[in-house]
Every structure is written in structure tokens, then in C-alpha cells.
Amino acid sequence: MSRPGSISVLCVDDNPHVTRALESKLRRSGKFDWRGSLSSADQLVETVARECPEIVLLDVDMPGMDPLAALERLSRECPNTRTVVFSGHIRRELVERAVESGAWGYVSKNDDEAELIRAIRSVAEGEFVLSVEARRVFGD
């Protein structure tokens, strides 16, 4: 269970530098409940079912199971957990597939970290978020 007022987050990224940096960033803010990280999407649904994080930060370019396929299953089986895709790949078809698979947000790794923090908060509040770069692929 997350602390009152904090948002519980699970991070899935094969790059340990990223997960370590995110963990450090989110813990230091004191407003997030770090529920750990996975280096692939293979155990995503099981882990979420066990940990019940409010937000999953999901990279889409990882070895192992297709992260978006895992996301689709996750949306179906754990509807209370919302996923924000956090990726360096910003392509329209990728964003569309992610949205279709149940993503609530799409944030570029190249965006400022503050953008990621805002996105996590907004999605947790029920908003759908596309970061600046992700919106651009729709001609925005």
C-alpha cells in the first residue's frame, strides 16, 4: 500500500542507469512510492498483480516479451493500474499502438524530467497525457 498522498510507481526498463536514476529522482521527491523495477516485461502482469502500483513506467524497447503485448494484458487484468510509456522512441505508429494497448500517457525520455513527474501525477489523477514530443507525431 502506498503512503497517503504518494503515488506508487513500478518502473520497467532494461537500462539499469535509467531505473536507478528514476528511483533516485522519485524517492527524493518524497511524493512517490517506489515499488521497484523490472528489466523486462516478462513478469509485468504478475508483479503488478502482486504490488498493485498505481502507475507503471514502461519502456517499449526491451529484450524479452513485447512490452506493448504485456501492456494490453495488463490493461485487461489490472484495470486499476495506469501505464505511462516512457521511451526514447517517438513514432506515431508506436504511440498509437501504445494508446490502443491501454497506455494512459506517452512521455519521451528526451523530455525534461519535470515533464515525466507532471505526467505521472496527471495520469494518476485520471488524465490522458502525451508529452511534447509525443504530441508532435500527431502534427500537433
Instruction: Return residues touching another protein (CB under 8 A).
Output: 15, 17-18, 20-22, 24-25, 28, 61, 88-94, 96, 99-100, 103-104, 108-110, 113, 126-128, 130, 135-140
Nearer Cβ to another protein (34/104): 104
Cβ 31 to another protein, closest distance in Å?
14
Cβ 119 to another protein, closest distance in Å?
12
Amino acid identity at 54: E
Nearer Cβ to another protein (33/59): 59
Nearer Cβ to another protein (50/76): 76
Cβ 127 to another protein, closest distance in Å?
5
Q: Torsion over CA of 36, 39, 80 and 78, rounded to 10 degrees?
A: -130
Cβ 33 to another protein, closest distance in Å?
18
Nearer Cβ to another protein (77/138): 138
